[in-house]
């Protein structure tokens, strides 16, 4: 038994020394153009999923999550802040998302993998080293509205999304920007408003101007 314990300790020390050598030598490539090793990717993915589920455990969604007003407001938030990276029905992600690693996922079926509470936790807290920011400063109600939208994404087509965007625009959009009210495509509402993205159009920008 002592021999086995000694062997385990030696292997652990060698592993730590090897990892330190890899890090401090600069050999580990952090470029976004270089994919993770399969083992590294597996460890990161497992840690991410388990962390989300553990930290979101017991989080109870509002009882009116299926409310139409929540859906429309959530569409507005998603179109302004999420579609540029994650795309939307009939809307392509922007160029920035194409150059990110890991690439932001399409969220069509995200509600089948995470509970509403888990989706809320992701929106509120973000995810380290993934490009996913925290939207905690937007307020819990905004985030639950966005969850309500994502819950409807499975099965949502381009026409459905276009109607929701139009309803959100009719309600004044999500936020007032410095240049005035903006529609879902980042165009001044004071100008003649074209058909919204998601209603038969596609865009390479996938979201509002910054």
Separation between Cα atoms, residue 108 and residue 70, nearest integer Å: 18
Name 92's Cβ contacts closer than 8 Å, sequence gap at least 6. Answer: 202, 203, 204, 206
Q: Is residue 86 a contact partner of residue 104, using CB atoms and an 8 Å limit?
A: yes
State whether 133 and 43 are in the same domain. yes
State whether 17 and 103 are in the same domain. no
- Percent of the chain at pLDDT > 90 equals 63
Reported confidence tier of residue 119, pLDDT bands at 50, 70, 90: very high
CATH number at residue 63: 1.10.760.10
The pLDDT assigned to 174 comes to 56
- Mean pLDDT over each residue of the chain, to the nearest integer: 83
State whether 74 and 141 are in the same domain. yes
Q: Is residue 196 part of a domain?
A: no
**pLDDT over 90 at 158, yes or no:** yes
State whether 69 and 156 are in the same domain. yes
State whether 26 and 99 are in the same domain. no
Q: Is residue 202 part of a domain?
A: no
State whether 20 and 108 are in the same domain. no
Reported confidence tier of residue 177, pLDDT bands at 50, 70, 90: very low
State whether 73 and 165 are in the same domain. yes
Task: Give the residue numbers spanning the domain of 21.
Answer: 2-30
Mean pLDDT, rounded, for 110-123: 97
State whether 136 and 177 are in the same domain. yes
State whether 50 and 98 are in the same domain. yes
State whether 69 and 119 are in the same domain. yes
In the chain the beta strands, taken as DSSP E runs, fall at 176-177, 180-181
Could you tell me which residue, 197 or 75, shows the higher pLDDT?
75
């Amino acid at each position: 038994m002592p021999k086995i314990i000694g062997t385990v300790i030696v292997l652990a020390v060698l592993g730590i020394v090897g990892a330190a050598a890899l890090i401090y030598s600069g050999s580990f490539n952090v470029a976004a153009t270089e994919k993770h090793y399969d083992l590294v990717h597996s460890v990161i993915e497992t840690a991410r999923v388990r962390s989300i589920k553990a930290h979101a455990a017991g989080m109870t969604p509002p009882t009116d999550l299926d409310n139409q007003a929540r859906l429309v407001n959530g569409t507005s938030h998603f179109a302004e802040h999420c579609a540029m990276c994650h795309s939307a029905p009939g809307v392509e992600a922007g160029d920035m998302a194409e150059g990110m690693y890991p690439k932001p996922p399409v969220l069509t079926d995200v509600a089948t993998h995470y509970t509403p509470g888990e989706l809320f936790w992701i929106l509120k807290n973000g995810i380290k080293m993934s490009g996913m920011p925290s939207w905690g400063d937007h307020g819990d109600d905004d985030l639950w509205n966005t969850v309500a939208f994502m819950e409807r994404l499975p099965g949502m087509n381009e026409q459905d999304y276009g109607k929701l965007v139009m309803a959100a625009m009719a309600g004044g959009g999500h936020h007032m920007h410095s240049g005035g009210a903006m529609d879902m495509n980042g165009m001044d509402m004071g100008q003649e408003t074209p058909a919204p993205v998601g209603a038969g159009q596609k865009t390479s920008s996938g979201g509002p101007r910054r």
